[in-house]
Chain A
Amino acid sequence: MSALLHANLTRRKFLLGGGRFLVAAAGFPVLSCTATPSGVSTTVAIASNNKFNDPDPAVLGTWIALDAAGHVTVYFGKVDVGQGLDTAIRQLVADQLSVHPRRIQVVMGDTALTPDQGGASSASGVEMGSVPLMNVAAEVKHILLSHIAQHWQCPLSSLRVQDGEIFCDTLPSQRSSYWTLIASDALDQHWLAHMLEVSGQGNNLNVTGQATAVPLAALSADSWTGQSLARDDIQQKVTGEFVMIDQVSLPDMLHARVIRPQVAGAIPLTLVLPDDMINDVFIVRRSAFAALLGEDEWRVIMASRALQQTWQEPAPVFPGNSSLYDYLRNTPARMQRVALDQGAVDDVLAGAGLSAADLAEAGPVLQAEYEWPLQSHASLGPACAVAVWDGQRMTVWSATQKPHQLRVGVADLLALELVKVHVIWVPGAGSYGRNDADDAGLEAAFLARETGRAVRVQYQRADATGWDPKSPAAVMRVSARLLADGSIAAMDWSALALSAHDARPSGAQASDSLIGQQLGLERPDTNNFSAPQDAYDLANRRSQWAVVPPPLRHMSPLRTSHLRDPQGPQVTFSSECFMDELAFVSGQDPIAFRLRHLGDERDAQLLRALATGSAWSSRPSPNPHADLRTSLPVTYSRLPGDNWRYGRGVAYCRRGRQTRVAVVCELAVDIQTGRIKLLRLVVAHDCGRVINPDGLRQTIEGAVMQACSRTLFEQVAFDDRSVLSTDWFSYPILEMASAPDQLLVLLLDRPDMPPLGAGEAAHKPVAAAIGNAVFDATSVRIRQIPLRPQVVLDALNRAQL
């Protein structure tokens, strides 16, 4: 089967073959998963004897290949989920290697070709993932120049490289290039077998050689780093040339449709196909897992609709979304964790932790509770995966964010040796954590082995929105006391939440997948939530969370996992709305109130830049002229009628390894309908050194707009036995008409600082900024998400009573 060719290719053959790396058969479209530019690579020398050896990060040639035609290929153990990560990588490598980025191709996420760098994880692609690649590029440059220096009898320091062309300051008549050097016999043919020092693993994997990468801060002004290099993939996407997972097609392939129960936790008793379909479609059933397969995709879908089913249904276990928060408050928590503890806040809130002078002036305990619902990952495309088993080896094509980890999960599920599993990442519909891709990959692998055929699993919409991992719900309580001068004496934050690790963030454990559980695997308890991240310098502060067990432990459509900036929106909605509430009760401007508590000048600069950049007028909330559109600094929208109230809100936070972000939201609330119209969002963003300003702006914009969607619209609906939000009508997300008039991104470039993650940070403060703006506009504080019109209207009506 020619489609299997590439799986059997050794790295040596692949590299010798040059050209595109193809999965193709006569008459079938060509799938180009990974590619080297044309020409013969020099990395042939490092070919492994073991046909399926894992890429060894200690070997230079694992990471990079150069050819005589002037192409560079880097092997990157992360993947791009839509934000142009590979473009930033090309820029960073180009500067270390002194070549034009157009020469560089980035191969991502193929477990046979790329080292395990943890996959797409925690916005670490640039911040951490680029580090070994820059070191490798510097090492290659060093090796090639050392050879030239020896050959030309000149000092290494006299050599310069411009787009791969090599010059010598002291020998102006001498010229060479990387490419002529590689084409010649001069170079030791084993030069890419050069060994590197390895440290860390996963996201932290790094390698170092003899050379040192040029620090970004020391790059010249004309470096590629810092320029808005255009992404190549956008053109391919608008012309239809870009290959995605749903286009992977193998000869002799079966289409599969998995059968999910209507009632959570139900086990299939009988599954019977109508007689007129049994020639075209068959059932694979193992334990509680079942799927329909056939050669005609539409026929399989028709069969799934006609399938006669009986199920053994468990007693209803879900609280229903109207009782979700009571469930969180009343179910005994199974783990409590103090995430941040400064001083003795319990005592402070009681009065004992303060000095006598402070105690005398400390105000009463102020307290509020915030509620965040379950939300669906809701990737635009339901998961798709293709797998084939040749009797020896399993090959899986998947849009997983973590191909190396899915490989471990497939080996786990099928009890295969790891070396017999090959996972090839193919771009799919955007994911922002753990969506349904890993489930589909595991199911495709299982069905491929069961049938001995190539199998394509394509989820339907309800399989995706209904059964994908959910972002955890939480009830968050914040308490504080203020001193007479309006500063915070003490603050206590706590959350009761579902764990973000019901399904851990990678597919490495089959027990965390639906099929694993349907086949009887028990998953362990895994506790994960988060606490506020900011630079507020409070003498007395505690943040802690507790995890509440899920209502259904296995095979649950409410299983929870990571969705973009995991738990950040939940946590920050509570902490940053509460900061606003404190500013309100003490009559202070919300930005000034935050600034007086910030203990880091970099964070303070960010907030001041935001105030200036958004033309923020200093005043306390609520807006005294909320009925006037002109009470906001910029107005674009013409909103008819007198029902609109105008307001602005701010929120600030940190994310992960110190990315700082703050956002101002300006909006209008229709007090007759409860509808919120976003007018303008202004984001100030400091993620250190900016690699690609346009790309960064687009990344931030997506994070902000997706957060607007979660804030205004998104909530999983479920009753006592089933998830009810299974399509785009029952699980609405933001559409064009709800987008703001304007979105302004202010980048605070820090050329002397290392780059930090950017894919998630701007997602974090948006809900709080919107909530604060609603208060500014209406004088009504809403501590509940989503801010759908009925929620807003109910809150306005309650406030008038």
Chain B
Amino acid sequence: MSRTASSTVSVVVDGLLYTPEVDPSMPLLYTLRNTLRLRNPRFGCGLGQCGACTVLVEGRPVRSCQLPTAAVDGQDVVTIAGLPARWQAQLAKASDEPGSTGTTQHQSLHPLQQAFIDQMAAQCGYCINGWLMSAVALLEENPMPDRDAINQAFAGLKCRCAMQMRFRAAVEQVAAS
């Protein structure tokens, strides 16, 4: 067996600690999908050109098809399934309440998830990771983005069903509230 040497990577995904043994050069996307069987991040291009594989790494939107798994060792990764917990944790922190565990128990949606639903901001939904995660990261950094800031946050993302107007409207809905 002449496989590339495996090594143990320690990573928190959606609040849970995983220690998979993987080829450390394998892109995070394949570790998430095939090793951890967390299949929300999608394969769209494998080139970092579309956003379908986007996750948050330490709060920043990252194309997981381009990031070697070793790069997230010791880091915090969030997929769209972890957004409700992330939001609850932020609320708890804001209200200074103790007891937030950050785990993905049944919790209400992240306001951007709700805004995407309100704005019907998806058709097939294959691209949704890129738009939703980029929107989350944008509003965490800039709660009142103008259209230039939105364009910048969404630069490079693709949606073949062409729902761009609705992604923008979802961000503006949350920013206005």
Q: Are A240 and B40 also in contact (CB < 8 A) when A234-B122, A298-B30, A727-B45 are? A: yes
B91 within 8 A of A: no
A702 within 8 A of B: yes
Residues of A within 8 A of B83 (CB): 239
Residues of A within 8 A of B165 (CB): 701, 705, 739-740, 743
Residues of B within 8 A of A729 (CB): 49
Closest to A733 in B: B158
Q: Are A297 and B30 also in contact (CB < 8 A) when A429-B126, A458-B43, A702-B123 are? A: yes
B158 touches A82 (CB 8 A): no
B163 within 8 A of A: yes
A246 within 8 A of B: yes
- For the complex formed, measure the closest distance between the CB of A61 and the CB atoms of chain B, giving whole angstroms: 31
A497 within 8 A of B: no
Residues of A within 8 A of B40 (CB): 240
- Interface size of A by CB at 8 A reads 62
B49 contacts which of A276, A705, A727, A737 (Cβ < 8 Å)?
A727
Please report which residues of chain B, range 58-109, place their CB below 8 angstroms from some CB of chain A when the two chains form the complex.
79-81, 83-84, 109
B47 within 8 A of A: yes
A708 within 8 A of B: yes
Closest to A255 in B: B34
B42 touches A237 (CB 8 A): no
A82 touches B81 (CB 8 A): no
Please report which residues of chain B, range 146-177, place their CB below 8 angstroms from some CB of chain A when the two chains form the complex.
150-151, 154-168
B166 touches A698 (CB 8 A): yes
Q: Are A461 and B164 also in contact (CB < 8 A) when A240-B40, A240-B79 are? A: no
Q: Are A240 and B81 also in contact (CB < 8 A) when A29-B37, A727-B45, A736-B168 are? A: yes
Closest to A730 in B: B49
Q: Are A728 and B50 also in contact (CB < 8 A) when A244-B126, A743-B165 are? A: yes
- Interface stretch, picked from A213-221, A375-383, A565-573, A790-798, is A375-383
A298 touches B155 (CB 8 A): no
Q: Kindly supply a per-residue 1/0 record for chain A positions 146-161, scoring 1 wherever the CB is within 8 Å of any chain B CB and 0 otherwise.
A: 0000000000000000
A516 within 8 A of B: no
CA A382 to CA B52, docked complex, whole Å: 11
CA A28 to CA B34, docked complex, whole Å: 11
B3 contacts which of A237, A280, A728 (Cβ < 8 Å)?
A280
Please report which residues of chain A, range 665-700, place their CB below 8 angstroms from some CB of chain B when the two chains form the complex.
694-695, 698
A735 touches B155 (CB 8 A): yes
A410 within 8 A of B: no
- For the complex formed, measure the closest distance between the CB of A85 and the CB atoms of chain B, giving whole angstroms: 11
Residues of B within 8 A of A299 (CB): 3
CA A766 to CA B166, docked complex, whole Å: 19
B16 within 8 A of A: no
Please report which residues of chain A, range 621-639, place their CB below 8 angstroms from some CB of chain B when the two chains form the complex.
none
B5 within 8 A of A: no
- For the complex formed, measure the closest distance between the CB of A431 and the CB atoms of chain B, giving whole angstroms: 8
B124 touches A81 (CB 8 A): yes
Q: Are A702 and B162 also in contact (CB < 8 A) when A239-B109, A298-B23, A299-B3 are? A: yes
The residue among A379, A698, A704 with the most chain B CB atoms within 10 A of its own CB is A698
A736 touches B126 (CB 8 A): no
A430 contacts which of B27, B121, B126 (Cβ < 8 Å)?
B126
Q: Kindly supply a per-residue 1/0 record for chain A positions 268-281, scoring 1 wherever the CB is within 8 Å of any chain B CB and 0 otherwise.
A: 00000001110110
Please report which residues of chain A, range 228-281, place their CB below 8 angstroms from some CB of chain B when the two chains form the complex.
230-231, 233-235, 237-240, 242, 244, 246-247, 249, 275-277, 279-280
B126 touches A231 (CB 8 A): no
B43 touches A238 (CB 8 A): no
Residues of A within 8 A of B128 (CB): 237-238
Residues of B within 8 A of A247 (CB): 39
A-B contact count (CB 8 A): 173
CA A238 to CA B162, docked complex, whole Å: 16
Residues of B within 8 A of A695 (CB): 120
B56 within 8 A of A: no
B164 touches A734 (CB 8 A): yes
Residues of A within 8 A of B132 (CB): 238
B162 contacts which of A240, A458, A708 (Cβ < 8 Å)?
A708
B125 touches A735 (CB 8 A): no
B11 within 8 A of A: no
Q: Are A734 and B43 also in contact (CB < 8 A) when A240-B81, A698-B120, A698-B123 are? A: no
Residues of B within 8 A of A380 (CB): 44, 50, 52, 124, 126-127, 158-161
B160 touches A430 (CB 8 A): yes
B137 within 8 A of A: no
A240 touches B46 (CB 8 A): no
The residue among A242, A276, A736 with the most chain B CB atoms within 10 A of its own CB is A736
Closest to B127 in A: A380
- For the complex formed, measure the closest distance between the CB of B38 and the CB atoms of chain A, giving whole angstroms: 9
Residues of B within 8 A of A279 (CB): 1-2
Residues of A within 8 A of B154 (CB): 735-737
- For the complex formed, measure the closest distance between the CB of A325 and the CB atoms of chain B, giving whole angstroms: 26
Residues of A within 8 A of B80 (CB): 238-240
A429 touches B116 (CB 8 A): no
Residues of B within 8 A of A276 (CB): 2
A706 within 8 A of B: yes
Please report which residues of chain B, range 118-147, place their CB below 8 angstroms from some CB of chain A when the two chains form the complex.
120-128, 132
Q: Are A234 and B30 also in contact (CB < 8 A) when A280-B3, A461-B45 are? A: no
- For the complex formed, measure the closest distance between the CB of A112 and the CB atoms of chain B, giving whole angstroms: 24
Residues of A within 8 A of B164 (CB): 705, 734-736, 739
Closest to B23 in A: A298
A82 touches B30 (CB 8 A): no
CA A235 to CA B161, docked complex, whole Å: 17
Closest to B151 in A: A737
CA A740 to CA B23, docked complex, whole Å: 44
CA A427 to CA B128, docked complex, whole Å: 14
B54 within 8 A of A: no
B17 within 8 A of A: no
Residues of A within 8 A of B26 (CB): 298
A321 within 8 A of B: no
- For the complex formed, measure the closest distance between the CB of A545 and the CB atoms of chain B, giving whole angstroms: 28
- For the complex formed, measure the closest distance between the CB of B121 and the CB atoms of chain A, giving whole angstroms: 8
A460 within 8 A of B: yes
A550 within 8 A of B: no
B42 touches A381 (CB 8 A): yes
A37 within 8 A of B: no
CA A239 to CA B1, docked complex, whole Å: 39
Closest to B123 in A: A82
CA A706 to CA B158, docked complex, whole Å: 11
B27 touches A298 (CB 8 A): yes
Q: Kindly supply a per-residue 1/0 record for chain A positions 426-450, scoring 1 wherever the CB is within 8 Å of any chain B CB and 0 otherwise.
A: 0111100000000000000000000
- For the complex formed, measure the closest distance between the CB of B133 and the CB atoms of chain A, giving whole angstroms: 11
- For the complex formed, measure the closest distance between the CB of B33 and the CB atoms of chain A, giving whole angstroms: 8
A381 touches B44 (CB 8 A): yes
A83 within 8 A of B: yes
CA A381 to CA B50, docked complex, whole Å: 10
Q: Kindly supply a per-residue 1/0 record for chain B positions 11-33, scoring 1 wherever the CB is within 8 Å of any chain A CB and 0 otherwise.
A: 00000000000010011001001
Question: Can you list 29 residue pairs at the A/B interface with Cβ under 8 Å?
Answer: A82-B122, A82-B123, A234-B117, A235-B109, A235-B113, A238-B128, A239-B80, A239-B84, A244-B125, A275-B2, A280-B3, A297-B30, A297-B34, A298-B27, A379-B126, A380-B44, A382-B43, A428-B126, A429-B124, A430-B124, A430-B160, A461-B46, A701-B163, A702-B123, A706-B161, A706-B162, A735-B156, A736-B167, A739-B168
**New A-B contacts (13) at CB < 8 Å, excluding given A298-B26, A382-B44:** A82-B122, A231-B120, A234-B116, A234-B117, A237-B128, A238-B125, A238-B128, A428-B126, A429-B124, A458-B43, A729-B49, A736-B151, A736-B154
- The 5 A-B pairs at the shortest CB distance, nearest first, are namely A705-B162, A82-B123, A237-B125, A82-B124, A430-B124
